[in-house]
Chains A and B, each alone.
Chain A
Amino acid sequence: MTNLLTVLPDFDTQPYTHILPSLEKALISTADLLTLDALDVAKRAQVPPSEVKKLASAVLNGLHASTTLRELGLPTGNVPATEPGQYEAISTLDDVLDTALGGGVAIGKVTEFVGESAAGKTQFLLTLLLSAQLNPPHGVGKAALYISTEAPLQTTRLAQILDQHPKLAVLPPDERPTMARVQSAHIHDLEAQDHILRFQVPVMLQRHDVGLLVIDSIAANYRPEFDKGNAKRSAAESFVKRGNQVTDLGTLLRETAEKYGIAVVVANQVADRFAAFEPPPSQLQTSQQIQKQLSVSAPQNVPILSSTTPQGTSPDGAVTPPSLSTDDPLALDHQHRFFTGWGDDLQRTNLKTPSLGLAWTNQLAARVALVKVPIYEAKQYMAGEEPNIAGWKRTFKVVFSEWCPSSCSEFEISSGGVRSIAEQHENGL
């Protein structure tokens, strides 16, 4: 059948080779076999019903045998169990950011780092490539595999972080991570991506005892593939097809993470988000308002065509009941403020949306948004003059996660990698 060996990899198909091709041709899947009467299946595929019954009960036995009661929290795969209360993770080598992540990037899950270009995604990924090699609790004492889709692995920068990161520089030589334990590969296009991730990566994971798989970035190979539709397919069909591809990719990465007991970390790009309506001039960042606190005005959402405009009221805590901020709370434009990483702060206007849409978001166990906001020079600007950018405020935002609560922390990029701003203050720097 179409997916029998995906569902039950160890199933012995030998006794059924005479009916399986007919079932395949009739597009009968394993789930169909379990929900349809044997007679219906037999009629559709034109095979003897008794054979179908035998196959169905063999499949059922196989499924029951493979779904056994699990010890909660232990990942499948040969990873040692940690102390109770600790979740296995790969550290970011910064205490504040690790706390925000509940220990670090979790093993057995797919985590996404999303942000604009030069937001700091690669810095985090490179750091993780090194920290994975450390012994628990900071790492898993294994090698790392880096798959690039655009630029190749930045070995110079990796060497610099290894050399200058405060936590790595103090380690004795036998405990230090090495460049040799970072394997890298390159994927050129979407077809190669599926093949490499499905077949070649598992081989590499076992051959090199890999504990971390990094894909930088996941969206790159999708861009040229997304055509607006041609004579054969409409745009909507192309879009549905891409949604299914993205779902398959997510499933593959989740299965890989769980089966081999590794952390999968993925980098993703953003696109600008265009609001349905232009916000009123008071919300645009003119030079006067950059220094002043912007007042919170009603959020502009989906066009409301009636006269009752929504007024966002902040709740008084225990005094008045909290109310919805908009008439249309389930609108995608409103809801994606809370799962993209941009838009849940009413003061920001330069909104971004991670690539690959809602279908991809549904595949992730965690999303970390690296939000970059310019800090303008505080001086008198002439009319029409562009404000000077004095620096960047970078925020490490845990948007959602299966294992830790959401949070925001400020960080900066240095020669030694990334570090949180709060920690810097503690050290008196």
Chain B
Amino acid sequence: MATVIDITSSPQKLPPSSHRLPTVSASDALQELQTAGPETIATTLPALDTLLAGVGTNSIGGLGRGKTTEIWGPVGAGKTALLLQIAARELCRGSTVVWIDGSSPLVATRLDSAIEQRTSAMSGIAATQGEIVRYRNNLKHYRVPTLSHLLAMVLHSQPDFPPSGTTMVVIRGLNTLIDIDYPRILFASAGKSPQQKWQAGRRYAVLGSLIAGLNKLAVLNNVAIVATTGCASRTRSDSGLGSALVPGISGAEWDGGVWNRLVIFRDFHCRFVGVQKSQGRSLIGRQEIGETGKIVAFDVEHDGSVRQQGPSSSLPSEALRKSISRSPAKPRGRYIDEVADSEGEDADEYGWAETDEDALTADTGVDETTEQIATA
């Protein structure tokens, strides 16, 4: 890390209350760059690493250190399973991992399984109980019950946080913390006092402060920060399609500050990771809700291990991806513009407001069904 030059040893005597300015000479910094470890953390899925790598670099891709990655997706999709594999790999290499649980504490047995799988994958022999305990102890586990606890930890971090040797910081369930303190409010409601209007915009402002603070923490400590953000739903009435899943956290500042965004979702036969943003550049259009970006297939075995499916080469097949066909005839009315302090007006989770109406008025469907059974 940066070396601190002791200013008080210089000829000019400064008052003792002045803060020491940590500076590093250019030659020292270059030295460190050449001898420091890899700048990325491998994701254990080779095709995903390739997708996350920069164009024209010879570095191996993965989750960038000094950056923040967002992973979102529905419950049970495999976010924690993948994160555990990545964390276990870091632990088995001797690094420290900080694991912050925002909604529900991690189950210890899952971590032990992941460590066991990683050690046997890396060395070919099963790990001893002592080894597992030793690696497990490198995981520093925190349970933050509220957003304020997380903000205290990250924005006003104590000097010994994160501990030295940390390469990765995981924040699980960030959307849960945000939703408790700043629940979604339907923006277009009249009759609000100025304080209420200000309060309604706080969610996005706090998210902006949070991502700035996370990025700063990541850079200063050269760690990769990964935050999981669950999912929410958003209607897509302008394109004629039904509701789609979207990240549990949204907002211009948050979206802009995240370096990579991955979506993990399930399908009938395996699971997929979609790369929606990488290297700081969004790979899908702003208005394209429901686009997954380039995808990599994987599966979670019964014992929790994660294996990539499909071609073993690290080039993801373009054929896996078909773009969503949208209705061309419908004129694009209002965009769901994401101004920093507003959200789509139609914060209609699950699309119930529409489908309920449809269900009540759709008596034609029922008639067809009974007719067909009768004539079969």
Check: B254 CB closer than 8 A to any chain A CB: no
Using Cβ atoms and an 8 Å threshold, which residues of chain B touch A72? 105-106, 108, 111, 136, 139, 141
Contacting pair A362 B376 (CB below 8 A): no
Check: A424 CB closer than 8 A to any chain B CB: no
Roughly how many angstroms separate A405 CA and B372 CA in the complex, as a whole number? Answer: 40
Roughly how many angstroms separate A299 CA and B355 CA in the complex, as a whole number? Answer: 20
Roughly how many angstroms separate A218 CA and B55 CA in the complex, as a whole number? Answer: 51
* Interface size band for A: 35 or more
A109-B104, A305-B240, A359-B349 known; A330 vs B149 contact (CB < 8 Å): no
A-contact 0/1 string along B339-375, CB 8 Å cutoff: 0000000111111110110110010010011001110
Using Cβ atoms and an 8 Å threshold, which residues of chain B touch A6? 146
Using Cβ atoms and an 8 Å threshold, which residues of chain B touch A106? 107
B-contact 0/1 string along A331-353, CB 8 Å cutoff: 11101001100001010000000
A-contact 0/1 string along B235-267, CB 8 Å cutoff: 000001111110010000000000000010111
Check: A144 CB closer than 8 A to any chain B CB: no
User: Which residue of B185, B240, B297, B309 contacts A240 across the interface (Cβ within 8 Å)?
Assistant: B185
Contacting pair B141 A339 (CB below 8 A): no
Q: How many residues of B contact A (CB 8 A)?
A: 114
Contacting pair A274 B310 (CB below 8 A): no
Contacting pair A31 B300 (CB below 8 A): no
Roughly how many angstroms separate A73 CA and B298 CA in the complex, as a whole number? Answer: 27
Select from chain A the residue with minimum beta-carbon distance to B310: A321
Check: B216 CB closer than 8 A to any chain A CB: no
Check: B95 CB closer than 8 A to any chain A CB: no
User: Which residue of A70, A302, A405 contacts B143 across the interface (Cβ within 8 Å)?
Assistant: A70
Contacting pair B75 A328 (CB below 8 A): no
Roughly how many angstroms separate A63 CA and B145 CA in the complex, as a whole number? Answer: 10
Roughly how many angstroms separate A325 CA and B327 CA in the complex, as a whole number? Answer: 20
> What is the distance, in angstroms, from B237's C-beta to the closest C-beta of chain A?
12
Check: A12 CB closer than 8 A to any chain B CB: no
Using Cβ atoms and an 8 Å threshold, which residues of chain B touch A240? 184-186, 347-349
Name B's interface SS: mixed
Check: A3 CB closer than 8 A to any chain B CB: yes
Roughly how many angstroms separate A325 CA and B272 CA in the complex, as a whole number? Answer: 11
A330-B292, A384-B374, A405-B300 known; A87 vs B149 contact (CB < 8 Å): no
Roughly how many angstroms separate A303 CA and B358 CA in the complex, as a whole number? Answer: 14
User: Which residue of B74, B179, B291 contacts A247 across the interface (Cβ within 8 Å)?
Assistant: B179
Check: A380 CB closer than 8 A to any chain B CB: no
User: Which residue of B181, B323, B346 contacts A31 across the interface (Cβ within 8 Å)?
Assistant: B181
Using Cβ atoms and an 8 Å threshold, which residues of chain B touch A344? 268
Contacting pair B151 A34 (CB below 8 A): yes
Check: B158 CB closer than 8 A to any chain A CB: yes
Check: B125 CB closer than 8 A to any chain A CB: no
Using Cβ atoms and an 8 Å threshold, which residues of chain B touch A359? 349-350
> What is the distance, in angstroms, from B300's C-beta to the closest C-beta of chain A?
7
Check: A118 CB closer than 8 A to any chain B CB: no
Contacting pair A66 B149 (CB below 8 A): yes
Check: B103 CB closer than 8 A to any chain A CB: yes
Contacting pair B107 A330 (CB below 8 A): no
Given A73-B108, A322-B320, A329-B272, 5 other A-B contacts at CB below 8 A? A73-B106, A330-B263, A358-B350, A400-B75, A405-B302
What is the interface of chain B, defined by CB distance below 8 A to chain A? 74-77, 80, 103-112, 136, 139-149, 151-153, 155-156, 158, 175-176, 179-186, 189, 195-196, 198-199, 202, 205-206, 209-210, 230-233, 240-245, 248, 263, 265-270, 272, 289-292, 295, 297, 300, 302, 304, 309-311, 317, 319-327, 346-353, 355-356, 358-359, 362, 365, 368-369, 372-374, 376
Q: Which 9 A-B pairs have the closest CB atoms?
A: A73-B108, A400-B76, A306-B325, A321-B310, A63-B152, A286-B376, A332-B243, A35-B209, A338-B266
User: 27 A-B contacts, Cβ less than 8 Å apart?
Assistant: A30-B181, A34-B151, A35-B210, A44-B198, A63-B148, A63-B153, A68-B142, A69-B141, A228-B356, A236-B353, A239-B349, A274-B355, A274-B358, A286-B376, A303-B241, A305-B240, A312-B268, A315-B269, A325-B269, A330-B290, A330-B291, A332-B233, A332-B242, A335-B245, A362-B248, A403-B110, A405-B304
